[in-house]
Structure 1
Amino acid sequence: MDLKDEFALIDLLTCGGQSTHWQRERGVGVGIGDDAAVAGISPGCSLVMACDTMTQHVHFASWSMRDEDIGFKAMASNISDMAAMGAVPRYALIALSVPKGTDEARLQRIYAGMYECASAYEVAIVGGDTTASISGIVITVTILGEVEAGRALLRSHAKTGDAVFVTGALGGSAAGLALLEHAQRSGAAAEAAIQAPLLQALALAHQRPAPQVAAGRLLLRTGLGRALNDISDGIASEAAEIAEASRVGLAIEEARLPRPAGLDAAAQLLDTPPLEWMLYGGEDYQLLGTVAKEHVHELEAAFEEHGLKLYVIGYATDDFSGVRLLRADGTVEPLAKRGYNHFATKD
């Protein structure tokens, strides 16, 4: 069935399973169906807002993600921004632009993925907009959350001597995308080669990232988290943002960077240094942050108690020298602020 009527499409995509009762349980007073949504915010909290866009041929293609994965990831990337502030994600607005003639069943699958992710993190989808596009599908998610007033975790709070940590393995999403690209270029034989469970897990890391909301909330509740950022564009870029905002240097130890299972096998298959994916690949949606050195063991114990991961990977210095990589062989090199850049020129 092809698109014929905007209002019928809105009804199709937003009403399935999204009852008034379901929304009101999540603090929505007026939901989809009026000119704007009306929702509550908890006493003593501040509003937290973020917005991200995913564009066909830039962020996704039919060979890299199923339609459900596209929707899931569009929502997950926004929820991750909430996690990076220590906030609770609450409400989302979806702006969808699609070419005329797009199959409605495809859009239903994309929205099914968005609702799946939203439900997993207790986010209510409360409205949005639909328009035609000249070429390709464009999905913009605006997310609203809340955090205890005056307690949001910021990039600018790192202090000299802090330990630098991440909440999970690095490079899995970039390696997964590289494997999917390899399969697309090389055909059936390559596609069969990446069906091994460890390599499949890397592809899944790209398609279905897991925002670290629980970790962000724990960092805020314990009062031990200082600076915080989510890893969307690569740890090198995100570390540089913390260093710049906090006016400190960051030293990252190569030997302590956590890597996902299967990364080395993927690197061997594709003849790519795994460190390239770990430092610059991005879209891991783990959290990168700092904690006072004297509180490291206390924070590690809190994470372990809640079944969460925490890896100390370096420390903050007072020389404002940006980010340095301490190599496993003992050498030190500047770590360029390099990650995914939409507007970078290519040779």
Structure 2
Amino acid sequence: MHSDERSAQAPISESDLVEIIKQRVNGGGAVPDGEVGVGDDAAVLRFDADHIVLTADAMVDGVHFLSDSMTWHDIGWKCIVSNQSDIAAMGAQPEHAVLTLAIPATTRVGDLEGILSGVIGALDRYGGKLVGGDTVSSDRIIISVSMTGRLLNEEKPLKRDTARPGHLVAVTGPLGGSAGGLMAMKEATQGKHQINADDEAQLLNAHFRPNPRVDLAGALVEFGAECAMDVSDGLLLDLERICVASGVDAVVDAARVPIEPALQRAYPEVATELALTGGEDYELVYAADAETIADVNSAQHSGEKAQFGIVGKIIPRQRTDAKVTVLDEAGREIEFDAKGWDHFAG
């Protein structure tokens, strides 16, 4: 039975679920010759590369998102772009995705189609194809995605352990928008609409529908960058992870960190902190020389060129543990209660 023959409010069976996914992914048609897609025990894929990039990410209701505050479409979108961002951070393009859905037995057909519209929308926009997965009943929504990618340079994936003293630290876009959107969402659920409506809409969009920088993976590789990571848990925490892997330290100039304009207007008192520690912006942070950074900036849309670029520098390791030091305009160190989002920090 096709999904359009069922009420969007009807509960769903596993067979119905698989059939809906098949219809949405394949349109009922055939997959390329020699390949096997959704509906069999496993997918069969054709690769023309020597190396495959592989990543996985899970999202849990109440931890990574709040289902009572998001549309089903946005939930599906976000679970895909987090993986696409990881692929981009390796200097690769998304290829295939496998989706595991753990959802309550009371989930309606319309809800599932909402998730799939977000999943397929993100894949259509940023690359990749859904080729399989699994479904299971659960008390809470858990979505897990595994994704493959194709390296843009087979010999040089972007890595965390290739930052060197003398490199500059750069980011590909404004930060803090997602964290600002989370703040706005929490205020709205409490009946507090304290900020400009346009700013609120922009921040909520940044939180619910982030945009991974798949478009700049090619520029990073082409212009010789070797070290990158996506900003998923907060700039300071993610940059510290680069420092740990590379055996270096970093210094960040807080005044040079690009802040999402709507965040700066809506929450000026915490904008810098959220830009440095907020997470889920899915921009890329990378370490390279000044010429490479200038070339990467030139690959951005003309309206963005002046906004983004160098935010700090890589320095030799000063002590046993890696450290990212944040300085204000007067050169004084700034400290924050948290560096970013740590799933196991309590």
TM-score, structure 1 as length reference: 0.89
Q: 2:146 aligns with which of 124, 142, 146?
A: 142
Equivalent residues of 2:216, 2:299 under 8 A apart: no
Give the partner amino acid of 1:92.
Answer: A
Match of 1:163 in 2: 168
Equivalent position of 2:35 in the other structure:
29
1:54-203 matches, within 5 Å, as 54-133=59-138, 135-147=139-151, 148-185=153-190, 187=191, 190-191=192-193, 193-194=194-195, 196-203=197-204
- Equivalence for 2:315: 317
**Which deviates further from its counterpart, 295-304 or 317-326?**
295-304
Q: Amino acid of the residue matched to residue 24 of structure 2?
A: G
Deviation, structure 1 residue 125: 0.1
Equivalent residue, structure 2, for 1:231 = 231
Q: Give distance in 2, aligned partners of 1:305 and 1:196.
A: 27
- Report the Cα distance in structure 1 between the residues aligned to 2:256 and 2:298, rounded to whole angstroms: 18
What is the rounded CA distance, in whole Å, between the counterparts of 2:30 and 2:339 in structure 1? Answer: 42
1:281 maps to 278
State percent identity of aligned pairs. Answer: 33
Does the CA-based 8 Å contact 1:303-1:310 persist in structure 2?
no
Alignment of 1:321-336 (within 5 A): 321-333=322-334
Aligned to 1:219: 220
Q: Distance in 1 between matches of 2:34 and 2:218?
A: 22
79-88 or 148-157, larger mean C-alpha shift: 148-157
Question: Which residue of structure 2 lines up, in the alignment, with residue 209 of structure 1?
Answer: 210
Separation in structure 1 between the aligned mates of residue 195 and residue 317 of structure 2, nearest angstrom: 44
**Cα distance in 1, alignment partners of residues 219 and 30 from structure 2:** 27
Residues 61-107 of structure 1: per-residue CA shift (max 9 Å, x gap): 24432111110011011100001001110000000011112212111
- Extract unaligned runs of 5+ from structure 2: 1-8
Deviation at 1:149?
2.4
Residue 239 of structure 1, CA deviation? 0.6
Query: What is residue 15 of structure 1 aligned with on the other side?
Result: 23
Describe the superposition over 1:116-141 as per-residue Cα deviations: whole angstroms up to 9, x where unpaired: 001112311000000011x2111111
Distance 1:184 1:149, change over 3 A: same
SS in 2 for 1:157: coil
| 2:289 corresponds to | 292
Residues 168-215 of structure 1 deviation map (CA, whole Å, 9 limit, x = unaligned): 001010011100001101x2xx34x55621221111000000010111
- Once residues 67 and 195 of structure 1 are traced to their aligned partners in structure 2, the CA distance between those partners, rounded to angstroms, is 26
> Alpha carbons of 1:282 and 1:105: their partners in 2 closer, same or farther (altered >3 Å)?
same
1:302-338 Cα offsets, whole Å, 9 max, x none, are 4467977741101111134521111123212467872
1:251 and 2:290 aligned: no
C-alpha offsets along residues 39-75 of structure 1, whole Å, 9 cap, x if unaligned?
Answer: 12234x4101111111112222244321111100110
* Residue type at the aligned position of 1:311: G
SS of residue paired to 2:260? coil
Amino acid of the structure 2 residue aligned with 1:237:
L
Offset at 1:20?
6.8
Q: Match for 2:52: what amino acid? A: L
TM-score scaled by structure 2? Answer: 0.89
Distance 1:250 1:337 in 2: 17
Comparing 62-71 and 161-170, the one that deviates more: 62-71
User: Residue 263 of structure 1 corresponds to which residue in structure 2?
Assistant: 263
Give, as a single letter, the amino acid of the residue that structure 2 aligns with 1:291. Answer: A
Aligned in 2, Cα 1:20/1:14: closer, same or farther, shift over 3 Å? closer
Give 1:339's aligned residue: 340
Structure 1 residue ranges without an equivalent (≥5): none
Report the AA paired with residue 74 of structure 2.
Answer: D
CA displacement at 1:249 relative to structure 2: 1.2
RMSD: 2.3
